[in-house]
């Protein structure tokens, strides 16, 4: 099962997470429109710490395709994660990005709210390479970053409705990840808030990260084959 952890803030954190077996090392990248965004230069330094088989995952909350393409050109991430709210970035926009960067794996966040979430997820079949299911408030310009769980049964409906790998997020940590996996049957899981330090710095607590990785490995079904990003030529 894929393990993805956000928001990495230093090369040392990136190296440590790579060494403990985290598959996707995630960095929030932008120009300061959202709290905690890392600049392109800083994100490049953080990604320099990624080791072994871990993938560099760049999260953009921007609705602007030119900004996103600049991010891709300057960072060359393994995975581009699009977290902008649905009204601001639609499937046609993501298809356009995919056509411009055909060798780049694209992950699209899906807000888990109600039946409409299932229909929205289906629209990305054949466009995105991964879906990330996250909690959402309708007045937010971004999906996620709330630190609260949502309906894992609805997650499972989405998992069973699409053909691409699905990663479940939203307030997940060592304490509840086994229940989330059992309920939703995802290809992967994501943690941000519950693997942060408790001092408000948003730096990663590596002990919590190790506990999260161990809890996922203990909970994943035997024989589960993770959905990994396609290799870049």
> In the prediction, which pLDDT does 213 show?
98
Nearest to 210 by CA among 8, 22, 23: 22
Contact 48, 54 (CB under 8 A): no
Q: CB neighbours of 33 closer than 8 A, spacing ≥ 6?
A: 61, 62
pLDDT band at 139 (very low <50, low <70, confident <90, very high): confident
> In the prediction, which pLDDT does 227 show?
44
Domain locations in the chain as residue ranges = 2-219
Mean pLDDT of the chain: 93
Please determine, for residue 233, whether its predicted confidence score (pLDDT) is greater than 50. no
Q: What is the pLDDT of residues 148-195, one digit of tens each?
A: 999 999 999 999 999 999 999 999 999 999 999 999 999 999 999 999
Please determine, for residue 224, whether its predicted confidence score (pLDDT) is greater than 70. no
Distance CA(220)–CA(102), nearest Å, equals 31
Please determine, for residue 36, whether its predicted confidence score (pLDDT) is greater than 50. yes
Contact 114, 157 (CB under 8 A): no
Q: What is the pLDDT of residues 82-133, one digit of tens each?
A: 999 999 999 999 999 999 999 999 999 999 999 999 999 999 999 999 999 9
* Bridge partners (DSSP) listed for residue 188: 2, 167
Pick the CATH number of 2-219 from 3.60.21.10, 3.20.20.70, 1.10.3720.10, 3.40.50.720: 3.20.20.70
């Amino acid at each position: 099962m894929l393990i993805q952890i956000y928001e990495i803030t230093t090369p040392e954190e990136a190296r440590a997470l790579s060494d403990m077996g985290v598959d996707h090392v995630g960095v929030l990248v932008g120009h300061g429109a959202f709290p905690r965004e890392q600049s392109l230069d800083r994100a490049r330094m953080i990604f320099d710490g990624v080791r072994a088989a871990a993938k560099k995952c760049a999260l953009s909350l921007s609705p602007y395709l030119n900004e996103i393409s600049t991010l891709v050109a300057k960072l060359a991430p393994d995975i581009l994660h699009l977290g902008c709210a649905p009204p601001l970035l639609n499937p046609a926009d993501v298809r356009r990005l995919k056509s411009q960067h055909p060798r780049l794996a694209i992950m699209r966040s899906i807000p888990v709210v109600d039946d409409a979430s299932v229909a929205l997820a289906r629209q990305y079949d054949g466009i995105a390479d991964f879906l990330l299911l996250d909690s959402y408030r309708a007045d937010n310009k971004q999906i996620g970053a709330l630190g609260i769980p949502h309906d894992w049964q609805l997650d499972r409906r989405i998992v069973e409705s699409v053909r691409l790998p699905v990663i479940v997020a939203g307030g997940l940590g060592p304490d509840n990840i086994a229940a989330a996996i059992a309920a939703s049957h995802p290809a992967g899981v994501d943690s941000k808030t519950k693997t942060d330090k408790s001092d408000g710095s948003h730096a990663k607590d590596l002990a919590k990260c190790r506990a999260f990785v161990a809890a996922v490995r203990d909970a994943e079904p035997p024989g589960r084959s993770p959905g990994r990003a396609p290799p870049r030529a």
